[in-house]
Structure 1
Amino acid sequence: MTDQPAPHPEPVYADRGSSHYDIVLTLMCVVVIISNIGGSKGVQLGPITTDGGFFLFPLAYVLGDITTEIYGLRAARRGIFMGFAMAVFAVLCFWLIIALPGFSDAYSTQHDAAIAGALGPVWQIVLASLCAFVAGQMTNSLIMVRLKARYRERGLVGRLMGSTGVGEAVDTVIFCTIAAPVVGITSFGQWANYAFFGFLWKTLVEYALIPVTTRVIGWVKKREPSYQEQLAAAGEA
């Protein structure tokens, strides 16, 4: 009688019903909302065309990487859709605030016009972010979970680098295409500049943050009882 091959162990994930998951989810929602507001402003930094949310959006991907690596694809999907549900809620609140009748004095009229000008276009940025971030983050998360299924606790840096490059490429092309008119981009050359430097910036920032990301992931894994229980059960503790 031949021996049956040992079953391939499943990758380890923590239970998302923990305080750490709540913190990461909250941070992701806040980052998405603020980056959507900042994204409505076009920014010119020398030869680089970008928007006001350029320094925040890579953080959303870092938080997505942390969520996917520790809590799995289902938890990452919940974080993505929760972040954008809150972004849509914020846009609806902005719309209501703008629509409410204000005072008629000169200061209030100017103030209300400034609010409308700043927050009015945000819904288009949210649309761009919704399409781009969902597609990019889901691509990013799918690559991470498939690589983890193969390598389990090994190769974390490779998972982060590989998923980031593909996810950010998908994200950037979709976002820049939809958001370009809001930012004030009207030519293909401007769009290409916007997309190329956006992708380059976000990818390089995420790569630069990988040492921090891996340490945060390691710190949370050690403090998640359910993760440690799963590691022990899988013989990887």
Structure 2
Amino acid sequence: MHASSGDRADTLPQHPTSPQPTGTGRVRQAVFASAGSPYFSAVLALMAVVVILSNIGATKGVTFGPVITDGGFFLFPLAYILGDVVSEVYGFRAARRSIITTFVLAAFAVLCFWIIIILPGAGWYDGQEALERTLGPVWQIVAASLCGFLVGQTLNSYVLVRMKERFGEKGLVGRLMGSTGVGEFADTLIFCTIAASVIGISTVPDFVNYVLVGFVYKTAVEFAFVPVTTLVIRWFKRHEPTYGNAAA
């Protein structure tokens, strides 16, 4: 089964998909599924939740010996793994849509936090200071997270899809690892530059530590989860009715 014209619309329009030779001499194109699928909606919702929770967790500075990070360190790599699924299965347009939607929802969440903080507290409520301390700086963390997320995820998706268009369905592991390195570096550098002051980092050595640890950690986690990401992507490809019959 070949991808329909609606499916091909999810590829990068300025870079048409090129046919790729297979070992049997047949030609196999890079194909994508329709973003109208309920599977896509579920992944998009999960990505938004992960990003919002990681924004809240990132307001807490965390140390493991000499390692400096934040409380959202274990969540944010999941957003990139989900982004890889969207890019590989649904294409660049769908990935861009998921990035923008997540951006808007996270911004809406911080607006809600701000309203909650300024609402007059009941006479018996004694948690205002803790609430402000926890959610008050979220706006800056959100700015850091979303700027990094917007640039990093876009680069990650672009590189992954362009590699798929170049090599067809072959080389999934290489696509995942190559796009991760590019996207995570941009994301981490932007995020750490904006967020450092919120979690109390004020010296150059600590900042360099923060950036390098964040980049190495996030990249290592994604590399470690490549086998899982690959299995998830293959599952989506098998169960998406609009996806072509090419195997990853």
When normalised by structure 1's length, the TM-score is 0.91
Match of 1:8 among 14, 18, 21: 18
Structure 1 gaps of 5+ residues are 1-6
What amino acid maps onto 2:209 in structure 1?
A: N
- Residue type of the partner of 2:110? V
Partner of 2:217: 201
Instruction: Please report the RMSD computed on the Cα atoms of aligned residues, expressed in angstroms.
Output: 1.2
Q: Which one of 90, 110, 130 corresponds to residue 91 of structure 1?
A: 110
Deviations 1:96-118 (A, max 9, x none): 0000001234xx23x11111110
* Aligned position for 2:67: 48
Alignment map for 1:1-237 (pairs within 5 Å): 8-9=18-19, 10-105=29-124, 108-109=125-126, 111-227=127-243, 230-231=244-245, 236=246
Q: 1:197 is matched by which residue type in structure 2?
A: V
Structure with the bigger percentage of helix: 1
Task: Supply the distance in 2 between the matched residues of 1:8 and 1:196 (Cα, whole angstroms).
Answer: 37
TM-score normalised by the chain length of structure 2: 0.87
8 Å contact kept, 2:18–2:166: no
Secondary structure of the 1:44 match is strand
Is there any run of 5+ residues in structure 2 with no aligned partner, and where? 1-16, 20-28
Residues of 1 paired with 2:94 and 2:145: CA distance?
A: 20
Aligned residue identity for 2:202: T
SS of residue matched to 1:103 = coil
- Give the counterpart letter for 2:97 in structure 1: R
Q: How many Å apart are 1:19 and its aligned residue? A: 1.2
Q: Name segments (4+ residues, structure 1) moved above 3 Å.
A: none
Determine the C-alpha separation between the residues in 1 that align with 2:204 and 2:145: 20
> Deviation of residue 8 (structure 1)?
3.5
The CA distance in 2 between the partners of 1:78 and 1:184, in whole Å, is 34
SS in 2 for 1:183: coil
Identity %: 59
Paired positions, count: 222
